[in-house]
Amino acid sequence: MLLTEKVAGNARLGVSEAIKLATYAREGESTRIEEHHVKEMVPDPMEGDFFESTDLFFSQDLQGTLDSLDRYFFLNSEARPLLASFQSRNRVLIQARTLLDGGEIRLGYRGIDKNELQGAADKYLPHYGGSKVKSGLNVFTQNPWYLGKIAQQADGLKLRQLVDFQVDFVGTFLELVDHPHSHREVMRNLVLRCLG
Protein backbone atom coordinates (compact mmCIF):
# COMPACT_ATOMS: atom_id res chain seq x y z
CA MET A 1 0.00 0.00 0.00
CA LEU A 2 2.79 2.45 0.89
CA LEU A 3 4.60 1.74 -2.39
CA THR A 4 1.43 2.52 -4.35
CA GLU A 5 1.10 5.83 -2.52
CA LYS A 6 4.76 6.69 -3.03
CA VAL A 7 4.53 6.19 -6.79
CA ALA A 8 1.16 7.97 -6.96
CA GLY A 9 -0.43 5.02 -8.75
CA ASN A 10 2.06 5.13 -11.65
CA ALA A 11 2.38 1.47 -12.68
CA ARG A 12 5.62 1.91 -14.65
CA LEU A 13 7.26 3.73 -11.76
CA GLY A 14 5.86 1.15 -9.32
CA VAL A 15 7.46 -1.73 -11.22
CA SER A 16 10.76 0.16 -11.42
CA GLU A 17 10.75 0.88 -7.68
CA ALA A 18 9.76 -2.72 -6.85
CA ILE A 19 12.72 -3.99 -8.88
CA LYS A 20 15.00 -1.55 -7.07
CA LEU A 21 13.72 -2.76 -3.69
CA ALA A 22 14.04 -6.42 -4.69
CA THR A 23 17.61 -5.84 -5.87
CA TYR A 24 18.44 -4.16 -2.58
CA ALA A 25 16.91 -7.03 -0.59
CA ARG A 26 18.74 -9.65 -2.66
CA GLU A 27 22.10 -7.93 -2.28
CA GLY A 28 21.63 -6.67 1.29
CA GLU A 29 21.63 -8.33 4.65
CA SER A 30 17.88 -8.95 4.67
CA THR A 31 15.77 -10.75 2.07
CA ARG A 32 12.61 -9.12 3.39
CA ILE A 33 11.47 -5.67 2.28
CA GLU A 34 10.16 -3.73 5.27
CA GLU A 35 8.09 -0.55 5.38
CA HIS A 36 11.12 1.51 6.42
CA HIS A 37 12.92 0.36 3.22
CA VAL A 38 10.09 1.76 1.11
CA LYS A 39 10.09 5.03 3.09
CA GLU A 40 13.86 5.44 2.73
CA MET A 41 14.41 4.27 -0.83
CA VAL A 42 11.32 5.32 -2.81
CA PRO A 43 11.05 9.03 -3.58
CA ASP A 44 7.90 10.91 -2.66
CA PRO A 45 5.34 11.58 -5.41
CA MET A 46 6.60 13.94 -8.10
CA GLU A 47 10.09 14.07 -6.60
CA GLY A 48 12.25 14.14 -9.69
CA ASP A 49 9.38 13.01 -11.95
CA PHE A 50 10.62 14.12 -15.33
CA PHE A 51 8.73 11.40 -17.23
CA GLU A 52 5.53 13.41 -16.93
CA SER A 53 7.17 16.48 -18.46
CA THR A 54 8.75 14.40 -21.22
CA ASP A 55 5.46 12.70 -22.12
CA LEU A 56 3.59 16.01 -22.18
CA PHE A 57 6.30 17.75 -24.20
CA PHE A 58 6.28 15.14 -26.96
CA SER A 59 2.47 15.10 -26.94
CA GLN A 60 2.84 18.79 -27.86
CA ASP A 61 0.76 19.85 -24.86
CA LEU A 62 2.16 23.33 -24.21
CA GLN A 63 0.14 24.21 -21.11
CA GLY A 64 0.42 20.70 -19.68
CA THR A 65 4.20 20.78 -20.11
CA LEU A 66 4.48 24.20 -18.47
CA ASP A 67 2.34 23.03 -15.54
CA SER A 68 4.47 19.90 -15.25
CA LEU A 69 7.64 22.03 -15.14
CA ASP A 70 6.13 24.00 -12.25
CA ARG A 71 5.54 20.74 -10.35
CA TYR A 72 9.02 19.45 -11.19
CA PHE A 73 10.78 22.63 -10.08
CA PHE A 74 8.72 22.85 -6.90
CA LEU A 75 10.97 20.08 -5.55
CA ASN A 76 14.00 20.32 -7.84
CA SER A 77 16.42 23.02 -8.88
CA GLU A 78 18.51 20.97 -11.33
CA ALA A 79 17.19 20.73 -14.91
CA ARG A 80 19.84 18.49 -16.46
CA PRO A 81 18.05 15.19 -15.66
CA LEU A 82 14.90 16.62 -17.23
CA LEU A 83 16.75 17.79 -20.32
CA ALA A 84 18.51 14.41 -20.56
CA SER A 85 15.09 12.73 -20.58
CA PHE A 86 13.96 15.03 -23.41
CA GLN A 87 17.11 14.29 -25.40
CA SER A 88 16.90 10.55 -24.85
CA ARG A 89 13.29 10.39 -26.02
CA ASN A 90 14.04 12.63 -28.97
CA ARG A 91 16.96 10.47 -30.15
CA VAL A 92 14.73 7.41 -30.32
CA LEU A 93 11.92 9.39 -31.97
CA ILE A 94 14.26 10.72 -34.68
CA GLN A 95 15.23 7.15 -35.55
CA ALA A 96 11.64 5.88 -35.39
CA ARG A 97 10.34 8.80 -37.49
CA THR A 98 13.00 8.04 -40.12
CA LEU A 99 11.95 4.39 -40.29
CA LEU A 100 8.25 5.33 -40.40
CA ASP A 101 8.75 7.97 -43.10
CA GLY A 102 10.87 5.53 -45.11
CA GLY A 103 8.18 2.86 -44.96
CA GLU A 104 10.42 0.41 -43.10
CA ILE A 105 7.93 0.10 -40.22
CA ARG A 106 4.29 1.02 -39.75
CA LEU A 107 2.51 2.40 -36.74
CA GLY A 108 -0.66 0.54 -35.79
CA TYR A 109 -3.04 1.02 -32.91
CA ARG A 110 -1.14 -1.67 -31.00
CA GLY A 111 2.23 -0.13 -31.67
CA ILE A 112 4.94 -1.28 -34.05
CA ASP A 113 4.97 -4.80 -35.42
CA LYS A 114 7.86 -6.77 -33.94
CA ASN A 115 8.56 -8.51 -37.27
CA GLU A 116 8.74 -5.22 -39.18
CA LEU A 117 11.11 -3.80 -36.58
CA GLN A 118 13.25 -6.95 -36.83
CA GLY A 119 13.26 -6.69 -40.63
CA ALA A 120 14.50 -3.10 -40.41
CA ALA A 121 17.07 -4.18 -37.81
CA ASP A 122 18.38 -6.91 -40.13
CA LYS A 123 18.85 -4.25 -42.80
CA TYR A 124 20.29 -1.39 -40.73
CA LEU A 125 21.82 -2.88 -37.57
CA PRO A 126 25.28 -3.07 -39.17
CA HIS A 127 25.24 0.75 -39.19
CA TYR A 128 24.97 0.56 -35.40
CA GLY A 129 28.02 -1.66 -35.17
CA GLY A 130 25.83 -4.75 -35.10
CA SER A 131 25.28 -4.38 -31.35
CA LYS A 132 22.04 -5.72 -29.91
CA VAL A 133 22.79 -4.47 -26.39
CA LYS A 134 19.91 -2.34 -25.11
CA SER A 135 20.74 1.30 -25.64
CA GLY A 136 18.84 4.57 -25.89
CA LEU A 137 21.03 5.32 -28.89
CA ASN A 138 19.77 2.33 -30.90
CA VAL A 139 16.12 2.20 -31.99
CA PHE A 140 16.42 -1.51 -32.73
CA THR A 141 17.06 -2.38 -29.09
CA GLN A 142 13.82 -0.75 -27.95
CA ASN A 143 10.77 -2.75 -26.97
CA PRO A 144 8.36 -2.60 -29.96
CA TRP A 145 5.41 -1.83 -27.69
CA TYR A 146 7.26 1.08 -26.02
CA LEU A 147 8.54 2.33 -29.36
CA GLY A 148 5.02 2.27 -30.76
CA LYS A 149 3.65 4.05 -27.71
CA ILE A 150 6.07 6.97 -27.92
CA ALA A 151 5.81 7.10 -31.73
CA GLN A 152 2.01 7.38 -31.46
CA GLN A 153 2.42 10.08 -28.86
CA ALA A 154 4.67 12.09 -31.20
CA ASP A 155 2.84 11.12 -34.40
CA GLY A 156 2.15 14.74 -35.33
CA LEU A 157 5.84 15.68 -35.16
CA LYS A 158 7.80 15.76 -38.40
CA LEU A 159 11.42 14.68 -38.66
CA ARG A 160 12.53 18.28 -39.18
CA GLN A 161 10.85 19.33 -35.90
CA LEU A 162 12.59 16.52 -34.01
CA VAL A 163 15.97 17.55 -35.44
CA ASP A 164 15.24 21.19 -34.53
CA PHE A 165 14.38 20.04 -30.99
CA GLN A 166 17.72 18.21 -30.73
CA VAL A 167 19.64 21.31 -31.82
CA ASP A 168 17.67 23.40 -29.32
CA PHE A 169 18.38 20.85 -26.57
CA VAL A 170 22.13 21.22 -27.14
CA GLY A 171 21.84 25.01 -26.93
CA THR A 172 19.71 24.68 -23.82
CA PHE A 173 22.33 22.50 -22.14
CA LEU A 174 24.94 25.21 -22.74
CA GLU A 175 22.53 27.79 -21.38
CA LEU A 176 21.99 25.69 -18.23
CA VAL A 177 25.75 25.56 -17.69
CA ASP A 178 26.04 29.33 -18.16
CA HIS A 179 23.04 30.07 -15.88
CA PRO A 180 23.21 27.57 -13.01
CA HIS A 181 20.63 29.43 -10.91
CA SER A 182 18.03 29.90 -13.65
CA HIS A 183 17.23 26.32 -14.67
CA ARG A 184 13.47 26.76 -14.34
CA GLU A 185 13.42 29.79 -16.62
CA VAL A 186 15.77 28.18 -19.14
CA MET A 187 13.55 25.08 -19.41
CA ARG A 188 10.40 27.17 -19.58
CA ASN A 189 11.89 29.16 -22.47
CA LEU A 190 12.87 25.92 -24.23
CA VAL A 191 9.30 24.63 -24.03
CA LEU A 192 7.88 27.95 -25.26
CA ARG A 193 10.31 28.00 -28.22
CA CYS A 194 9.57 24.42 -29.22
CA LEU A 195 5.83 24.22 -28.59
CA GLY A 196 4.69 27.85 -28.50
Do 20 and 106 sit in the same domain of this protein?
A: no
Do 12 and 88 sit in the same domain of this protein?
A: no
Do 92 and 29 sit in the same domain of this protein?
A: no
125 vs 11, residue with greater confidence:
125
Do 56 and 27 sit in the same domain of this protein?
A: no
Q: Specify the CATH number for the domain of residue 55.
A: 1.20.272
Which of 3-7, 10-14, 43-47, 50-54 is the least confident region? 43-47
The closest alpha carbon to 13, from 44, 40, 35, belongs to 44
Do 153 and 85 sit in the same domain of this protein?
A: yes
Do 37 and 1 sit in the same domain of this protein?
A: yes
Last residue of a domain, one of 45, 62, 79: 45
Digit-coded pLDDT (tens) for 135-176: 888 999 988 888 998 988 888 899 999 999 999 999 999 999
For the chain, what is the domain count? 2
Last residue of a domain, one of 45, 64, 80: 45
Q: 111: phi > 0 → left, psi -120 to 50 → alpha, else beta; which?
A: left
Q: What is the pLDDT of residue 194?
A: 98
Q: What is the pLDDT of residue 99?
A: 95
Do 106 and 160 sit in the same domain of this protein?
A: yes
| 123 Cβ contact partners less than 8 Å away, ≥ 6 residues apart | 104
User: Length of the chain in residues, anyone?
Assistant: 196
Do 30 and 62 sit in the same domain of this protein?
A: no
Do 34 and 70 sit in the same domain of this protein?
A: no
Do 69 and 119 sit in the same domain of this protein?
A: yes
Structural domain of 118 = 46-196
Digit-coded pLDDT (tens) for 27-68: 666 678 888 777 777 765 544 467 899 999 999 999 999 999
Do 35 and 95 sit in the same domain of this protein?
A: no
Which three-class secondary structure string do you get for the chain? Answer: CHHHHHCCCCHHHHHHHHHHHHHHHHHCCCCCCCHHHHHHHCCCCCCCCCHHHHHHHHCCCHHHHHHHHHHHHHHCCCCHHHHHHHHHHHHHHHHHHHHHHCCCCCEECCEECHHHHHHHHHHHHHHHCCCCCCCCCCHHHCCHHHHHHHHHHCCCCCHHHHHHHHHHHHHHHHHHHHCCCCHHHHHHHHHHHHHC
Do 25 and 5 sit in the same domain of this protein?
A: yes
Phi, psi at 108, each rounded to 5°:
-110, 180
